[in-house]
Amino acid sequence: MTMATNAIELSDEARGLLKALASETRQQIMALFVGGMELTVNEVAERMSLAQSATSTQLATLRDGGVLTSRREWKTVYYRADPARIGKALSDLQISLNACCSPPPEEAPSRGCE
């Protein structure tokens, strides 16, 4: 028995966003960047009570997923949210979901007996 699959076509940006936010830990990390906050790996590790290596891995996943951007200043890497890329990914995701899963159109209201 074979099943037909109608996979949702997602952009790379939308797929990256979903992967990046699939972890509760990464969701909690993202909350640290509210208001344009810029943090280093060590600052995130300290606030999350995580090992530096685990934090670095989580931040790399968030950066690769397009929700964080980074800049290097000497040996220190600073991370911050990337609102433009997040917005693009959300827009792409909404378009994909609307294409496959939008609710049926509402029926015209009944006018009684005609």
Better-scored residue on pLDDT, 55 or 9: 55
User: How many domains, the chain?
Assistant: 1
Q: Does residue 99 lie in a domain region?
A: no
pTM beyond cutoff 0.85 = no
Distance separating alpha carbons of residues 65 and 20, to the nearest angstrom: 5
Q: Does residue 1 lie in a domain region?
A: no
The packing angle between helices 52-64 and 41-48, to 10°, is 110
**pLDDT confidence of residue 99:** 76
Q: Does residue 63 lie in a domain region?
A: yes
Query: How far is the CA of 110 from the CAs of 57, 107, 113, in angstroms?
Result: 58, 9, 9
Structural domain harbouring 47: 12-94
Which of the four pLDDT bands, split at 50, 70 and 90, describes residue 55?
A: very high
Identify the CA nearest to 44 among candidates 52, 36, 68: 52
